[in-house]
Every structure is written in structure tokens, then in C-alpha cells.
Amino acid sequence: MSRVKLQKLVLETFRGASNPVTLEFDPEKHITMFYGENGTGKSSIVDSFSFLSEQHCGSLRERSEADEDFITSITGTRDNLQVTLVTDKGKWSAKFKPRTKQIVVTPGTGIPPVRILRRKSILALVDTPSSERYKALQSYIEMPGIVKSEASLREAIKGAEREFDEDRRGLTQAQEALDKLWQQQKKPNASAEAWAEAEKARDVAKMEADLKEADGLVGAIEDLTIRKKDWSDAISEHKNLKDAQDKAEASLKDEESKSAGQSGDLVTLLEQAKTFVDANSPVSKCPVCEQDVEHERFHGVLSKRIAAMLNIAGLVKAVVEVKKKADAKEEAIASAKRKYATKIFLAATLVKASKLQCISMVAFPDGLLDLLSNDKTPADDLTINAEEWELSLATLKSNIDNESKNWRETVTLHGAIVRDLETLRRYELQTKARGGLCEFLKSTLKIVESERKAFVTRELDAISEEFDTLFKKIHPGEKLGGVKLSLKEKFQHSLSLAGDFHTQQGIAPQSLFSESHLDTLGLCVFLALAKKYRTEDTIVILDDVVTSVDHSHLSRFIDVLHDEAEHFGHIIITTHYGPWRELYRSGRSPGGQLHFIELAPWTLEKGIRHYKGKLSIDELREEIAKEPFAKQNVAAKAGILLESVLDFVNRSYEGRLPLKHTPGYTLRELTDGLPGKFLRLIRVVRITEKAAGDKVVLVPSEVLVEPIIVRIKGLAALRNQVGCHYTEIGALCSEAEVREFGEVALELAEALVCPVNGDFPTKDKSGAYWESRSGKVQLHPLRQPAN
Amino acid sequence: MKTPDQQVGEAIVKAMTDAGLLTSKGEKTLGAALTKGTQSASDWKFLYPELLMERAQKQNDSTKTP
């Protein structure tokens, strides 16, 4: 596919476009220059491309505290704002989605990408801290997915190392624990681990079983002792209660003997009668003798009699309570006895079944074990016979305790050894596995990091090589260059910029480069980036980027720009820098390749105004053809054109011009700059293409410069007399003389200006003559002869 | 045109494979995860046991008699 051809840009209610404005591009030219003083609408045009292609408010977004609402023209409303771009590949319109700040482009795809360089951005590329420079270039080299994944990899390493450290600590602790046991055992075997392995292999199952049996026996004997005590305690408590009961009954008898007619039985009977009366109220007959009674009186009598025997009633109650407790304790004795008997049986059964050596060392009364371990033996017999057994049991327990103490120590030590050894082995395994994981992750990180850096370095090297090449084209023969972008060591988001300056190498350009050199460096960096990441439709916009570049550097920058133009869809230049415009207008730069649009001062009523910019040669040609003939205009324009052309010729041959305090030379000085002898050698060869049958042949034609210069010399006075000042002499000059002056100026300019690109022959690559960019115009010779 | 993420993701997968640090399964999935930035810390860790298992499997296969 061929690269895009811009046709039209329409701004409606967009920034400075207070009236709709249509900017038509020359579809055959891929560079457009918008020239205008400040406040003519250049930024509006550039921002419209941001609005369309990047969907943001362009320079308004980059200015601090700028109100983006002013993207809408102050005379219009947001709903009416629209930017439209028409190209040979399609038409796109951008506007705000109603009642939102969202920019919508229709159609949503295919719009040519735009790369905009503003003066402010040049500083961000060159004269800025490394981190800011990285931000300026971030969009070209950023890889958010990789960076995020790398961060998670670092997190994984951190976690794995933490776990690895924990395992190592665990391993050390296990080793120390095992070592401690080994030392406690007086360091048998060659090492703690060898000892532990040997110990682990030792069979302690029999010992564990014996210990378990011994513990069971000891437990049974202890249970038996406890149950026996429970039983004894119950008997003792019952005896105490019986004593208390006897005492209470004695007190009651004593009281009864002191009170005639009163007794415990009587007070109990009266209380029962009163309870009956209360329960069957009202009572009309005595429940015993069935005589008629009056309830209230009957109840009163009962209460009175009970009250009279209050003391005895208390003693009766005490007797009843203590008797109740004694009866309950009797039941507890029986229960404790049963439990004790059960434990006797259990212990006897265990002792009888046990194979422990210590059992055989204790002598039991004959037949006693058989009796006690017999489940048919009555509980009374068990408890009675157990009395005989107690002494033997105490001896047995003591023997078991002594013997099991050694077993316990051995089994406990074995358990500790096995546990510590297993812990040690587990940590060894874990440490090995986690160590392997850490190594794996670190090796992976090395790869991820190195590939990321290698990519960025490759990209930066490629960009650096490109912009250094461009920079050297602008600054040939100057001992500076070798400028290179590189990632700063140890910083992920930091880009350093270093170059050579005479004897100094690898210095930051900001240290020694002039402001103008930094400007051109920034431009070259931008162009290199735009070129590397271009598509065939990429629109490059240079927004007022040149303000202080001198003539020769500007010329070379323009050459670079035209050389690079073929890589992009279109280059748009906006500038208020007069010398840039004049280089094109005067033919010193290839104005023929450029579409030149001039912008008039902006007004609220009319908005952005533009008109077609003209080259000086075209202006003079039009002026000569005009009716009526304007002598002053023709003389002025011819003079200006000639000054530019003769300046070029003198520079090409190092003409001898006087040193002056004031800038510029007169026509006379410029025509005298080259010696007549040499002038006669200067000739222009113009090559035109002509059809010859099926072929196109190149036909050279030659123009001698000297005769034209001679004619110019004869008419040079008209430059000032007619073109600049009011003089009577000027008024005396004829129209024919002025016309001839204009025509001879045109003749010289037309001889030298290339018909293809509109530039002068400034290239010396042939080594024998100067030639224009297209090679269609040659200026011979290349140099003045030495003599 | 591949994005920087895609280019570097592919280069990482290749370098890890060449270094024997990636399983055949990892070769297929890691690139996309790196490009999208979805490769988590756990995902990185899991690559290692998978690699060990694949190595063991390969060793096992190679010792089998045909």
C-alpha cells in the first residue's frame, strides 16, 4: 500500500476555530508547513490531530492548570465541536460523546497514527533528569506485562528465600537437639547422626510393651488403693453419723423426761393432725374421736400445743435428719465396697496374667490370687482377703516402679532420638527442595532481567545509532556526536544520555552542548523514534520546534527532514521562525516538495485564517505579469530574490565579500564577490526528461552565469532607486528597465532552482559540481581554481 | 508488529527453554502470561515442581526397556 495522502482538515468549534475552517492539503506533497506569527492558530491545528488520533486535548493537557474545557471554541458549544480529517484512505471525524468528556472517533479504526513533537517535549528528551527522560520515551520501550511479571518473580524469590531461611533454622535446631542428646549420652558412635540412626534401628517394642504393662499394673494398684480409701472413709463417716444419731436420741429422751405429758411421738402426732386440718379446712369433726369441733378453735388448740412442745419438736427434727444421713452413708459404704472389690478383682487378674519378671519376685499367699481373680468370688470375700494382699502389692508396686524407670528412660530417649532425627531429615529434604526452588527462581530472574534489559538496550542502540546519524548530518565535521541512550545501571526506569564533545567522551550533552545543539539533538531523537516505530501512514508533526538554529544548521536540518520524509505518511511543520520560511521561499531549501500555508492573525470574528504561501520566485513571476505593472513591487521582489540567489552563489564559491558591521550585502557587493575570470567558468546544466519513442531520454541544457551577472550589474541600481526609496531618479526609470531587471532576476533564479524540488544545487556528492536533490540541476564547477 | 511485551516474552521463554528451566507445558503458556502480566508469584513457584516432575518422568522413560 502507498503512504497516506492528506486531503483536508476541517475544524468546527475547535479551539481557535471560532468559525469553521477547512485546511486543504496538497495531496502530492508529503510535507506541509504552516507558517504564522504567535496567535495565528498553529497550536489549534496541531491539537486537532491529538484530538483525532490520540483522543486527548493535546497541548492543553500538557500545560499546568490549563482548563481543558477550552478545547471548545469560546464562541461555540461542546456539542458542535468536531474535527474531520480526509485522506485518500478514508475520512475520520472526532467529537465529544454527548454530555461526557469522552472523545469518539468515527470510524473507530484506521486513523493514521500521529507523533507530535512540541518544543517542551524536546527538553523532556534531552535536558531533563534520567527518570523524566525515561517517561518521555516510555511509550516506545515500555513492557508493562513483563515488568509486572518480573515484580511477581521477585516476590516469589523473596517468599522462597524466607521459607528457605526458616527451613535452615529448623534444620539447625534439629541438629542442635540431636547433638545435645548425643552429648548427654557421652557421644557414642562417630557422630550424632550415626548414633541416632543406630538408635532408631534399635527395637524397643518389647520394652514399650513391658512398660505399658507395668504402667497398667501400677495404675490398677493405685486405683485399688484409692478405692480402698474411699471405702474406709465411708465407714468412718458412717460411724460418726451413728454416734451423732445416738447423741440426738439421748437428748430427746432427756427432754421428754423433764416435761410430763410431752413426748416426741406426741408432738409428731400433733404436727401431723395440724397438717391434716390445714389440708382439709374447714374441719367440723375431730378426725380421731369424731366429736363435733369448731375448726378455728380446733386449729388453735393444735397450734398452741405444738408451740408448747417447740423444744422437743426441734430435737425430734435433729434425730430425723441425722438418721437420714446415716442411712444414706450406709448405701455409700456398700457402693464403695463394690468398687473396691472390682478393683481388687481387676488388679488380681492383671497380676496373675503378667509375665513381668518383677511379679515373680513377690510372694503372694497360696491361692489368694486365684481367689481374688475369680469373678465368682463374693465382694465380701474379696475385700476381706485383700487385706492380706496389701503388703505384697506395695512391694510389687515398688519393684515395678524401679524396673520401669529404666525402661521409661530408654523408651523416652528413643522416642526423642527418632523424633529429632525425623525432624532433621524432613528439614534436610525441605531445605534441599527450597534451595533448589530459590536457585531456579534466581536463574529465571537473571534471564527475565537480562532479556528485558537486552531488549531495551537493543532498542536504544538502534534509536541511538539512528539519531546519531541524523545529528551528524546536521553537524558535519563538528567534533561532537556519538550520542547514545542507555539504561542507567541499577535503575529500572532511568535513561542516561551521553555523547562526545571534542576531547571529552561519554559526557552528558547538557554539560557542553549549546542550546541549539541540544535542540537539534532532541529533534533527531524524536525523528529516530518516530521512524523506528512508524507505519507508512504515520503523521509526524513538528510544532514550533526551531527557534534558535543558525542558517547553516537549519539548512542541514531541513535537508535531513526532507531525506526522512519518505519514511512517513506526512510531515507537518508549524513555525513562527521566519528564517525557516525564507529558506523555502527563496529556493535555498526544497520548497518544491513542500506545501506552504501561511496563517493570518486570529480574530474572534473570523477565527483561524490562512492563505497559500508563495515562493519568492513565484511572487516575482506573478508580479511581472500583473497589469498595471507595479515598478516598485517588481524591483523590490527582484532585488530580494537576487540577493538570495547571489548570496547562494557566493557561498558556493567562497566569494570575497567585505567585512561589515551591518548585516547583508548590496547587489553590487554580491555581483562583485567572484572574480570575472572565474565567473566565466560558471555554468548551470539543467537536465530535462524528453520522450523519445518508448523511452525517456535525459537532455542537458546549459546556462552560462556570467552574462546574466553582467546584465544584473547594469541594472543593480534599480534595486534601491525603484524598489526601496522615493527618489526622483527612481521615478525616471522606465517600466521596460524595471521589467528587464525583474526578468533577469527570474532568469538567474529559474536557471538555479530545481524544477522538481524547488531547491538550489547544494549537494557536492559528485565531487565535480554542485547539484540539486533531484540531480536535475548542476552548478559547475565545484570549487574556484586555486590560482 | 509485535509489542515489546510480546518480543521480550518470547525471548524469555526461549532463553529459559534453552537453559532447561522450562517444561514443555510452560513453553506453551508462559509467553502469554508474561505478555499479559498475569504470571503471579505462585505461578513462578509452580514451574519448579513441574520441571522436576518432567525431568523425573523423562528419566523414568529413558530407563524403561523397549
Chain B residue at shortest CA distance from A156: B41
Strand bridging mode A695-704 / A683-692? antiparallel
Q: What is the mean pLDDT of residues A668-692?
A: 93
- By Cβ distance, the residue of A149, A156, A441 closest to B37 is A149
Rounded to whole angstroms, how far apart are CA atoms A749 and A761? Answer: 11
Cβ contact A451–B15 (<8 Å): yes
Residue A1 pLDDT class (50, 70, 90 cuts):
low
For chain A, the average pLDDT equals: 89
With cut-offs at 50, 70 and 90, classify the pLDDT of residue B49: very high
CA-based nearest residue in chain B for residue A153: B41
**pLDDT score of A159:** 96
- Amino acid identity of residue B56, one-letter, is A
Question: Looking at beta carbons, which residues of chain B come within 8 Å of A153?
Answer: 39, 41, 44
Instruction: State the nearest Cα–Cα gap between B58 and chain A, in angstroms.
Output: 19
Cross-chain Cβ contact B44/A444 below 8 Å: yes
Min Cα–Cα distance to chain B from A500, Å: 30
pLDDT band at residue A594 using 50, 70 and 90 as cut-offs? confident
* A145 to B36: CB separation less than 8 angstroms, yes or no: yes
Contact residues of B toward A, CB < 8 A? 3-5, 7-9, 11-12, 15-16, 19, 21, 33-45, 47-48, 51-52
Contacts of B45 in chain A (CB under 8 A): 156, 159-160, 437, 441
Is the pLDDT assigned to residue B65 strictly greater than 80? no
Among B8, B29, B46, B55, pick the best mutation site for testing chain A contact (most A Cβ within 10 A): B8
Q: Residue A653 pLDDT > 60, yes or no?
A: yes
Report the run of H or E that residue A157 belongs to, with start and end: helix A144-184
Beta strands in A49-121 (DSSP E): 82-87, 90-96, 103-106, 114-118
- For residue B38, which residues of chain A lie inside 8 Å, CB to CB? 145, 149
Which chain A positions have a beta carbon within 8 Å of B33's beta carbon?
149
Measure CB to CB from residue A148 to each of B7, B21, B37 and give the nearest one: B37
B12/A447 CB distance under 8 A: yes
Say yes or no to pLDDT of A615 above 90: no
- Cell 492380706 identifies what position? A388
Reported ipTM: the value is: 0.96
B37 interaction partners in chain A (CB closer than 8 Å): 144-149
d(Cα A742, Cα A738) in Å, to the nearest integer?
6
Residue in the structure block whose three cell numbers are 522538481: A756
With an 8 Å Cβ cutoff, are B41 and A436 in contact?
no
**Residue B33, C-alpha cell as written in the block:** 502470561
Residue partners of A352: CB distance under 8 A and separation at least 6: A369, A370, A373
Find, in chain B, the residue whose alpha carbon is nearest to that of A155: B41
Kindly give, in sequence order, each residue whose CB lies less than 8 Å from that of residue B37, ignoring residues fewer than 6 positions away: A144, A145, A146, A147, A148, A149, B5
| Residue B66 predicted with pLDDT over 60 | no
- The residue written with cell numbers 469522552 in the block is A102
Q: What pairing do the DSSP bridges indicate for beta strands A504-507 and A90-96?
A: unpaired
Return the SS3 of A280.
Answer: coil
**For chain A, percent of residues with pLDDT exceeding 70:** 99
B45·A144 Cβ contact <8 A: no
Write out chain A residues lying below 8 Å of B51, CB-based: 440
Residue A175 has pLDDT above 90, yes or no: yes
pLDDT of A111: 92
The answer, yes or no, to whether residue A779 has pLDDT greater than 70, is: yes
H-helix or E-strand containing A319?
Answer: helix A310-353
Could B44 and A441 be called an inter-chain contact, meaning their C-beta atoms sit closer than 8 Å? Answer: yes
Q: Do B51 and A440 touch (CB under 8 A)?
A: yes
The model's pTM is 0.62
Residue A695 burial class via C-beta count within 10 angstroms: exposed 0-12, middle 13-18, buried 19 and up: exposed
Q: Which of A145, A436, A451 shows the shortest C-beta gap to B11?
A: A451
DSSP string, A433-452: HHHHHHHHHHHHHHHHHHHH
- pLDDT score at A358: 81
Q: How confident is the model at residue A332 (pLDDT cuts 50, 70, 90)?
A: very high
Distance from CA of B66 to the nearest CA of A (A): 32
Residue of A nearest to B40 (CA): A152
Q: Which residues of B touch A438 (CB under 8 A)?
A: none
Residue from the list B15, B34, B48 with its beta carbon closest to the beta carbon of A149: B34
Using a CB-CB distance cutoff of 8 angstroms, which residues of chain B are in contact with residue A444? Answer: 16, 21, 44, 47
Whether A512 has a pLDDT exceeding 80, the answer reads no
Of B11, B19, B40, the CB nearest to A455: B11
pLDDT at A490 over 90: no
pLDDT digit string, tens, across residues A411-436: 999 999 999 999 999 999 999 999 99
Q: Helix B41-63 vs helix A144-184: angle between axes, to the nearest 10 degrees?
A: 70
Place A167 in a pLDDT band, splitting at 50, 70 and 90: very high
Sign for the CA dihedral angle at A60, A63, A67, A70 comes to negative
Q: Is the pLDDT of residue A442 over 80?
A: yes
Query: pLDDT tens digits, residue range A57-82?
Result: 888 777 666 677 788 998 888 889 99
Q: Phi then psi for A58, rounded to 5 degrees?
A: 60, -130
Judge: B4–A142 Cβ closer than 8 Å, yes or no: yes
Helix (H, G, I), strand (E, B), or coil: what is residue A130?
A: helix
Amino acid at A320: V
Q: In this predicted model, which residue has the larger pLDDT, A519 or A713?
A: A713
Q: How far apart are CA A124 and CA A118, in angstroms?
A: 10
pLDDT given at position A366: 77
- So what's the pLDDT on residue A488? 77
Which residue in A149, A437, A444 is closest to B33 by CB distance?
A: A149
The residue behind cell 534509536 is A463
pLDDT tens for each residue of A693-723: 889 999 999 999 999 999 999 999 888 888 8
Residue A155: pLDDT above 70? yes
Distance of alpha carbon A531 from alpha carbon A564, whole angstroms: 8
Please answer yes or no on whether B40 and A160 come within 8 Å at the CB atom: no
Give the closest of B19, B39, B51 to A149, CB-based: B39
Contact state of B12 with A146 under an 8 Å Cβ cutoff: yes
In this complex, is the C-beta atom of A153 within 8 Å of any C-beta atom belonging to chain B?
Answer: yes
CA distance A519 to chain B (A): 28
The mean-pLDDT minimum among A101-115, A375-389, A442-456, A754-768 falls in A375-389
Q: Is A149 on the interface with B (CB under 8 A)?
A: yes
Query: What pLDDT does A685 receive?
Result: 96
Q: Which residue of B has its CA nearest to A535?
A: B1
Contacts of residue B35 in chain A, CB cutoff 8 Å? 145-146
CA distances A354 to A211, A236, A351, Å, are: 12, 35, 5
CA distance A157 to chain B (A): 8
- CB-based contact B37 A146, cutoff 8 Å: yes
DSSP A689-730: EEEETTEEEEEEEEEEHHHHHHHHHHHTTHHHHTTTS--HHH
CB A332 within 8 A of CB A373: no
B-chain residue closest to A160, CA distance: B45
A491 has a pLDDT exceeding 80:
no
